[in-house]
Amino acid sequence: MEKLNVTVNGKFMSVDVDPELCLADFLRDRLFLTGTKIGCGKGECGACTVIMDGKAVTSCIIPVMRAEGSVIETIEGVSDGDKLHPIQEEFINKGAIQCGFCTPGMIMSSKALLDRNNDPTADEVKEALGGNICRCTGYVKIEEAVMSAAERMRNGETSK
């Protein structure tokens, strides 16, 4: 067991963890943040994407101790109470969600992009989502949702 100091969705915690765990298992099994999904366990599908210190990472291949001292955002921390983030709303409104299994990872990849660059080009959106596989939507409406959320964020909207 090692001591992990980490901030998850705005809450600081100091916990004992098994260092063999990956970050995704820690989030899902220990914190019950099951919104982070496991689609492959090898960083090849993006379903487990969370934001670590501002960057999108596939939490299934991040050793949990890599999170030491870091700030982690998961899908559960994106909305502000009952107020959804513009990205979440646009995913819903634009039809970017089908089965929903890739959705948390997609939203986290989108948020990592838009937090840094709220006026992305189509290619920047594609690059940001290239590591997130969706088998349902053909990505069309996902990219539309990201663009539309970007516009709202440029107008000053966030959930927080």
Partner 1 sequence: MTYVGKSIPRNDGFDKATGLGIFTQDVALPNMLFGKVLRSPYAHAKVISIDTSAAEALPGVEAVCTFENTTNKPFNTSATMITTNPGAEPVRDQRVFTGEPLYIGDEIAAVAAVTEKIAEDAVKLIKVEYEVLPAVFDPLEAMKPEAPDVQPEFGCKEHKNVCGEIVEFGIGDIGKGFEEAEVIVEADIELPRVKQAQMETHGAVASYKANGTLEVYSPTQTPHPTKMILAYALDMPESKIHVQNPPYVGGGFGVRIGLSGKAEILAAVLSMKALKPVKIQYSREEDFLASDTRHGGYLHCRLGAKKDGTFVALDTTAWLNTGAYATFGVELLGVCGACGTAGTYRVPNMHYKGFPIYTHQQTAGAFRGFGTPQGTAVVEAAVDKMAQKLGMDLLELRKMNTTKPDDKNWFPFPVGSVAINECIDKAAEGIGWKEKRGKAQSGNIRRGVGIACGTHVSNAAPFCVDYDAVYLRIEQDGSLHIGTGIPEIGPGSTTALIQVACDLLGVPFDTAVMKFGDTAAAPFDIGSHATRTLYAVSQVIRDAAEKIRKDIFEYAADFMGVPADKLDMSEGIIFGEGKEYPLSRLAYEAHLRGKQFFAAECKVPPNSLPWYAQAAEVEVDMELGIVKVIKIVSAHDVGKVVNPRLCEGQIEGGVLQGVGYAVREEMTYVDGKGFYNKGFHKYMLPTADDRPEIVPIMIESNDPAGVMGIKGIGEVGLCATVPAVLSAVEDATGVRFDAVPLVPGRVIDGFKKAGLIK
Partner 2 sequence: MKYVIAQSAEEALKALKDAEGRGTIIAGGTDVMVELHEGERTAEVLVDITKAADLRGIRIDGKEIVIGSAATLSEIASDPIVRQYYPSLCKGTGSVGSLQIRNTGTLVGNIVTAQPAADGAMSVAPLNPVIVVRTFDGEKRLKISDMYVGFGKTALDTSKELVTEIRIPVPEKDEKASFVRLELRKSLSLPMLNAAAMVKYSENKVVWARITMGPVGVGPTRAAAAEEWLKGKELTEENMAEAGRLALKDANPRSNPLRGSREYREHSLPIIIRRVLEDIKAQF
Residues at the site binding partner 2, with contacts judged by CB under 8 A = 2, 18-20, 22, 41-46, 49, 55-58, 61-63, 65-66, 68-69, 109, 127-128, 130-133
CA–CA gap between residue 152 and residue 160 (Å, rounded): 13
Tell whether residue 116 is a contact of partner 1 (CB under 8 A): no
- Report the partner that residue 143 touches, choosing among partner 1, partner 2, none (CB closer than 5 to 8 A by kind): partner 1
Tell whether residue 158 is a contact of partner 1 (CB under 8 A): no
Tokens of 92: 């819903």
Tell whether residue 120 is a contact of partner 1 (CB under 8 A): no
CA–CA gap between residue 2 and residue 45 (Å, rounded): 29
**Residue 159 DSSP SS3:** coil
**Residue 33 DSSP SS3:** coil
Contact call for residues 48 and 39 (beta carbons, < 8 A): yes
- Report the partner that residue 99 touches, choosing among partner 1, partner 2, none (CB closer than 5 to 8 A by kind): partner 1
- Report the partner that residue 150 touches, choosing among partner 1, partner 2, none (CB closer than 5 to 8 A by kind): none
Tell whether residue 88 is a contact of partner 1 (CB under 8 A): yes
Contact call for residues 7 and 13 (beta carbons, < 8 A): yes
Among 8, 17, 35, 52, binds partner 1 (CB under 8 A): 35
Tokens of 148: 């539309």
